[in-house]
Structure 1
Amino acid sequence: MKVARLTLSDRASAGIYEDRSGPEIERVFGEAQAGAVEWLRIVMPDERAEIEALLKRLADEDGCDLVLTTGGTGPSARDVTPEATRAVLERELPGFGEIMRVQSFPKVPTAILSRSTAGTRGRTLIVNLPGNPKAIGECLPLLIPAIMECLRHLHGEG
């Protein structure tokens, strides 16, 4: 399985702080996924056009089965991950974002500000995860069964 993890953060991409969210995605997904995973690791700034171009390339040219993004899903002007994601999707799967908000809300009432979404482009599933490593640890395990089922369908196994 080929998986890209994208950390979308102006500050992490500029080296102002260390990316902890990307490694957390790998840790959590790796613990739940039994098969071999080839990881593509990318940290980039919150630039919508660049994010869109990268998502297209990862799906259309690089043949990623799964793209997991972290960061850029809040309400600030620089948070453009959901817009970039929706611009490249063929089919949106809003249930991913909905379950993450439901899971996080009892612990962090501001979780309702998250605009995370997910969807498919060709045979690639793209999922926007929170930018906080703790939230990734709480949300990603809930998504893995649906991620794996979706990938089976995208690859003609479902």
Structure 2
Amino acid sequence: MQVNNDIKIGIITVSDRASAGVYEDLSGKAIIHTLNEYLISDWTEVYEVIPDEQEVIEQTIIDMVDQQNCCLVVTTGGTGPAKRDVTPEATEAVCDRMMPGFGELMRAESLKYVPTAILSRQTAGLRGGSLIINLPGKPKSIRECLDAVFPAVPYCIDLMNGPYLECNEDVIQPFRPKKK
């Protein structure tokens, strides 16, 4: 376990309209709010609102992982079937390995609320020692999906020798194996 007081988490909102200032980014703020509820550890957000351009998404993820040293990058938006929804493709292009269980669980959770959850293409992957998770674009769906997958996130980061994420267990129950 690496105890680190310099925990950085990347939040990327992928939206043509939010990046152009047509409307306020509520999704990225929902991720920040949720992570503040989950985490007791001090952490710093590295936050970007960018257009639905695969090259821009790839470069933003690479920067957050390779230059900013984010142990976790959470994206929102660009996961549907529309032509400009390319966040999963950008994530796959920059990851060393994919973690398909995250997308599977998020879709299963979302299906409890809307039948269109099968249209979502959320995924997750690893780049170096960082976990990248793609979330849907609606704030309500963000919380539902994070509630489902976040219990595995701190241990995943532990396994990659990342910083120790201490959680508020009254809000979210992280899974870590019992010490023998």
TM-score range, shorter chain: over 0.9
**2:72 maps to which of 60, 66, 73:** 66
* 1:42 partner amino acid: E
Paired residues for 1:4-153 under 5 Å: 4-153=10-159
Identity of aligned residues (%): 51
State the 1:129 CA deviation. 0.6
Q: Distance in 1 between matches of 2:150 and 2:160?
A: 15
* Paired residues of 1:28 and 1:141 also in contact (CA < 8 A): no
User: CA offsets per residue over residues 92-151 of structure 1, 9 Å max, x none?
Assistant: 001111111000112100011000000110011100011000001111122211111110
- Describe the SS at the equivalent of 2:148: helix
TM-score normalized with structure 2 length:
0.85
- Describe the SS at the equivalent of 1:38: strand
Q: Distance in 2 between matches of 1:104 and 1:141?
A: 11
* 1:79 partner amino acid: D
* Paired residues of 1:29 and 1:144 also in contact (CA < 8 A): no
User: CA offsets per residue over residues 8-66 of structure 1, 9 Å max, x none?
Assistant: 00010011111000111011111111101100110000000111111111111211111
- Describe the SS at the equivalent of 1:127: strand
Structure number with larger C-alpha Rg:
2
Q: Distance in 2 between matches of 1:57 and 1:41?
A: 12
Over the residues paired in the alignment, what is the CA RMSD in angstroms?
1.3
Task: Look up the match of 2:169.
Answer: none
What residue ranges of structure 2 are gaps of 5+ in the alignment? Answer: 1-6, 165-175
Count of residue correspondences: 158
Q: Compare 54-63 and 68-77 and name the one that shifted more.
A: 54-63
TM-score normalized with structure 1 length:
0.96
Following TM superposition, the consecutive aligned residue runs of length 4 or more in structure 1 with deviations greater than 2 angstroms are: none
Q: Distance in 1 between matches of 2:75 and 2:116?
A: 20
